[in-house]
Amino acid sequence: MTVSSAPGKVYLFGEHAVVYGEPAVPCAIERRATVSVEQRDDDRLRVHAEDLSLDGFTVEYSSDADATPDVDASESLVRAGVGYVDAAVSQAREAADAPDAGFDITIESAIPLGAGLGSSAAVTVAGIDAATRELGVELPATELADRAYRAELAVQDGEASRADTFCSATGGAVRVEGDDCRAIEAPDLPIVVGFDGGAGDTGELVAGVRALREEYDFAADTVESIGDVVRRGEDVLADGDLEELGRLMSFNHGLLEALGVSSRSLDNMVWAARDAGALGAKLTGAGGGGCIVALDPTDETKTALQFTPGCEEAFRAELDTEGVRAEEP
Ligand code: PMV
């Protein structure tokens, strides 16, 4: 058996605008998805998922693309649960030149699903790493990131940036602009995450921003302004000026709000963080529901979020400088 884990992430800056070629700065956090893989002696896949907001389920199916998984659960649940695993396995089979390899796969994730913390990227990156190593092939982090990006593209109908997968593969803070992905320096960040228990529909939210941008010049300008905030944010991150970083994150939230991708619960959590004296707060990821990220070196924001209506979970998250890694089986 081979086991790999990969971290989730928060966006300090730039989600949505990154889709239109502006830069974005995601940052890996110490919440991981762990994928265990054991090669079978046939070509079937058996996937068992735990803690994936899915309460634990198991599916078993053959590699034949037309075969329906043999499982007693709704199709959308199965798609959400195994779509990324499937795409990861395809990438691993291709990388190891083992088109008929079958696997027993177990996923354990501490990252809420579809909530802006990069759960799917973490599962995909860890899955490709574990499956290729199980087949005796070791891929460098950059190739893992590229293969995980292609897996996400396949599952998300061509709507994905390289941000999540690159960040999860390499760890740390990264800058992504189109196909250009690189690590950047970041100080220790006092990150607090608030989670509303829900999830947004990334495809729908991206389509909404696209429509606004086509209809109104000022919406297109808003997307460009997010790019300006990101460029300023990068410099500030390098300087380690946390107060200015927080101000820019709050500004970024306002622009995302204008583009219609926030929600009442996300805004409630952002306001709770502001009232608690956070240096800054914004939604992270596609929006519509899910998580906010705040900066606060004190306990005030976490405590305030715990008492905020609509906030289901609040936790501190350290920046994770390590990307994908091998774990003891
Ligand atoms: O919600 P997440 O973590 O899947 O982030 C989506 C980020 C977007 O910029 C909206 C889309 C993308 O692929 O970059």
Average pLDDT over residues 32-56: 81
pLDDT of the residue at 79: 63
For the segment 204-212, the average pLDDT, to the nearest whole number, is 94
25-39 and 191-195 strand pairing = unpaired
Most informative mutation of 9, 120, 164, 174 for ligand 1 (most atoms within 8 A of CB): 164
| C-alpha span between 9 and 4 (Å, rounded) | 17
| pTM, full prediction | 0.90
pLDDT band at 109 (very low <50, low <70, confident <90, very high): confident
Compute, in angstroms, the gap from residue 284 CA to the centroid of ligand 1.
Answer: 9
Average pLDDT over residues 293-297: 98
Cα of 288 vs centre of ligand 1, distance in Å, is 11
Q: 274 and 308 in contact (C-beta within 8 Å)?
A: no
Q: Which atom of ligand 1 lies nearest, measured to the CA of 14?
A: 9
Task: Summarize pLDDT for 319-328 with one digit per residue, the tens.
Answer: 999 999 999 9
The contacts found for 302-309 with CB under 8 angstroms, 24 or more apart, are: 302/192, 303/276, 304/272, 304/273, 304/275, 304/276, 305/192, 305/194, 305/269, 305/272, 305/273, 305/276, 307/272, 308/194, 308/268, 308/269, 308/272, 309/268
Q: Can you tell me which atom of ligand 1 is nearest the CA of 206?
A: 10
33 strand-pairing partners:
6, 109
Distance from C-alpha of 36 to C-alpha of 4, rounded to nearest angstrom = 7
Q: Which of 256, 261, 260 is CA-nearest to residue 200?
A: 261
pLDDT tops 90 at residue 84: no
Distance 187 CA to ligand 1 centre (A): 24
Atom of ligand 1 nearest to the CA of 9: 3
Of 20, 193, 202, 291, which is best to mutate to test ligand 1, by the most ligand atoms within 8 angstroms of its C-beta? 202
Closest by CA position to 225, among listed 11, 27, 26, 16: 16
Average pLDDT over residues 139-144: 96
Residue 300, number of CB atoms within 10 A of its CB? 17
| Closest residue by Cα to residue 6 from 250, 169, 120 | 169
Q: How far is the CA of 280 from the centre of ligand 1 (A)?
A: 20
**Per-residue pLDDT, 78:** 58
Rounded mean pLDDT, 124-144: 97
Catalytic residue list:
164
Whether the CB-CB separation of 187 and 240 falls below 8 Å is answered with yes
Give the whole-angstrom CA distance, residue 134 versus residue 127.
Answer: 10
3-state helix/strand/coil string of 80-92: HHHHHHHHHHHHH
Rounded mean pLDDT of 253-265? Answer: 98
- The pLDDT of 300-322, averaged and rounded, is 96
Q: Which runs of consecutive H residues, i.e. helices, occur in 139-241?
A: 141-155, 163-170, 202-215, 217-239
Confidence tier at 63 by pLDDT (50, 70, 90): low
- Residue ranges around ligand 1 (CB below 6 Å): 15-16, 18-19, 116, 118, 160-161, 163-164, 202, 206, 285-286
* pLDDT, position 170: 97
Compute CA distances 258 → 22, 39, 213, 250, 318, whole Å.
17, 49, 11, 13, 29
For the segment 220-235, what is each residue's pLDDT rounded down to a tens digit?
999 999 999 999 999 9
Q: CA 124 to CA 144: how far, in whole Å?
A: 9
CA pair distance 260, 208, nearest whole angstrom: 8
pLDDT band at 54 (very low <50, low <70, confident <90, very high): very low
Q: What does the pLDDT read at residue 202? A: 85
Q: Read off the pLDDT band of 64 (50, 70, 90).
A: low
Give whole-number Cα distances, 218 to 172, 224, 226, 259, 306, in Å.
Answer: 34, 10, 12, 10, 36
Best mutation site among 161, 205, 213 for ligand 1, i.e. most ligand atoms within 8 A of its Cβ?
161
Question: Could you tell me the pLDDT band of residue 114, with boundaries at 50, 70 and 90?
Answer: confident
Q: How confident is the model at residue 278 (pLDDT cuts 50, 70, 90)?
A: very high
